[in-house]
Amino acid sequence: MTYLAVFERKADQAVDRDDLTRDLRTHWPDARISVTSPDAPGREVRDVTWQYEEAGDRLEGRSHADGTCLYLEGPLHLAVRFACWYRRLVPAAEELIFCDDTYGFAIPVTVGATPGSVARAVTTGE
């Protein structure tokens, strides 16, 4: 399934690709990370990509080039972990929303949210 962790860009705030890459390497050392070169085809929408595997589950992630969205393909439990981790990188004034690719749900990921609380909100609709 494809999930998104997205925020609106206010006053040109975004997550810097170098910060994202550095923090991915620090907090997810087993992830395979690739940074798209500035002149690569598709760079306008795909910036940093990664793959992470844990206990047989796999998550593929990528950031939008404008620094305001993650696309997360994989099981819910890994996607919400990455969304909660990403919340720490998003400017505090921004509202981060976790949703599926059809916007069938839209859950705010507040500062300090836990993967469990976000996953419960997704599965219970609260």
What pLDDT score does 54 carry?
Answer: 94
Given a contact cutoff of 8 angstroms between Cβ atoms, the answer to whether 90 and 99 are in contact is no
Of 105, 8, 34, the C-alpha closest to 118 is 105
What DSSP letter does each residue of the chain carry, written as one string?
-EEEEE----TT----HHHHHHHHHHH-TTSEEEE--TTSTTTTT--EEEEEEETTEEEEEEE-TTSSEEEEES-HHHHHHHHHHHHTTS-TTSPEEEEETT-S-EEEE-TT--HHHHHHHHHH--
pLDDT at 30: 94
Would you state the pLDDT for residue 44? 60
pLDDT means per 10 residues, the chain with 126 residues, are: 88 84 94 79 71 96 89 97 95 91 92 94 84
Residue 50 is predicted with a pLDDT of 94
The one-letter amino acid at 107: I
**pLDDT on residue 45:** 59
Characterize 53-64 residue by residue with b for buried, 16 or more Cβ atoms within 10 angstroms of its Cβ, and e for exposed: eeeeeebbbbbb
Tokens of 91: 């400017």
Nearest-angstrom CA–CA distance, 109 and 38: 30
Residue 57's pLDDT is what?
A: 96
Q: What pLDDT, on the 0 to 100 scale, is given for residue 25?
A: 95
